[in-house]
Amino acid sequence: MYERKELYDFFMERTSELTEDWYNKMDHNHLHGVYASNDKEVIGRLKQQNYQFHLLFCRLFLEKDEDFGALFENWLEELASDIEHLLTPIYEIIEQFFRVEDQYLELIEKFYAENVAGAGSEEVNYWSREITKRLGEIVIRFVRENALQTELKLNANRETILKLSCPVIPLMKHSALLPVIGDIDETRTKVILEHSLDECAKKKIDHLFIDLSGVATVDKIAVEELEKLIDALKLVGVVCTLSGVRPKVARAIMEYGFELEIIQVESVLSTAIEAKFAAI
């Protein structure tokens, strides 16, 4: 087997060239996301990411560690969490990995043709298999990391949407309205609890009207979380008034052990608000 260090040096001398060649031959007009961008900053970052890949991948010719893909852990995390790549179809990103693979396979053949007299196909085949194998490992790691980052982003967006769906709307005299619309499940009630506590503290609310007229059904977990919300608000000095409780929801609340006697209840929101401000 030819000296690994000379093979390593051969590739390292061409890292910048590999990046420029890769970018310049890219079919930007038929690609999307990061590959179609005209933003100089985005393009510069894309090239730098590709260049950093080569610096790591060239170590293939030196490293004998079986877990070669672990070298790319930080690089993959950065690439997968990059907003421009998150907005790029994953199949296009994988396609670019394969283009890079082709670059390495071509250079392996060039190296042995120009530098090793009488070299047979055995050496070329060995390194071709290594390149294909190691790059395959990296692609799998990227897909896994990309899925993780996408899920994190979706969860963050989902939580934002949930918060927007349960706004704490200031009224007057340190009072506010929390209109709850749609089905209430465990995830949503937890977001409502955290969001309501934060908003009441931030806006110095001491009386919160929780209107459930937009809620058609609740389950046991939702009732338990609603009870936790009211108890938590009491602990920070916020009085709660429930309004708009539908008969079906009321039966479920009673069935699951929530005692309506411990909280102010009004049939409709307007009545609750009028009663509050009439007493001021």
Pair 139, 44 in one domain: yes
My answer on whether 18 and 66 are in the same domain is yes
Residues 25 and 158 reside in one and the same domain: yes
* Coil, helix or strand at residue 245: coil
Please tell me whether residues 127 and 25 are part of one structural domain.
yes
Same domain, 139 and 89: yes
121 & 252 share domain: no
Kindly report, residue by residue over 222-280, the tens digit of the pLDDT. Answer: 888 888 888 888 999 999 988 888 888 888 888 887 766 667 888 778 877 777 666 55
Higher-pLDDT residue of 173, 151: 151
Specify whether 255 is located in the same domain as 159.
Answer: no
Are 174 and 255 in a shared domain?
A: yes
Q: What tokens appear for 38 in the block?
A: 């005209």
- Which of the listed residues 118, 136, 163 is the one where a domain comes to its end? 163
Q: Are residues 18 and 153 in the same domain?
A: yes
For the chain, what is the radius of gyration of the CA atoms? 30
The Cα-based distances of 203 to 124, 174, 199 in angstroms read: 70, 8, 6
Which amino acid, residue 152?
A: L
The proportion of the chain whose per-residue pLDDT surpasses 70, expressed as a percent, equals 93
Q: Could you give the residue ranges of the DSSP H alpha helices within the chain? A: 4-12, 15-24, 40-57, 73-81, 83-86, 90-115, 121-164, 186-202, 220-235, 247-255, 269-278
- Among 163, 178, 212, which residue terminates a domain? 163
Measured CA to CA, the distance from residue 114 to residue 184 in angstroms comes to 70
Note down the domain range covering 244.
Answer: 169-278
Residue 215 pLDDT level (bands cut at 50, 70, 90): confident
Residue 187 in contact with residue 157, Cβ under 8 Å? no
pLDDT, residue 279, reads: 58
Structure token digits, residue 244: 């708009």
- Note the pLDDT tens digit of each residue in 40-55: 999 999 999 999 999 9
* Res 120 pLDDT > 80: no
∠259-262-268 over CA atoms, to 5°? 90
Q: Say how many domains are in the chain.
A: 2
* CATH number for position 175: 3.30.750.24
Considering the domain architecture, whether residues 173 and 274 belong to the same structural domain is answered as yes
9-34 pLDDT, tens digit per residue, is 999 999 999 999 999 999 999 999 99
Residues 145 and 175 in one domain: no
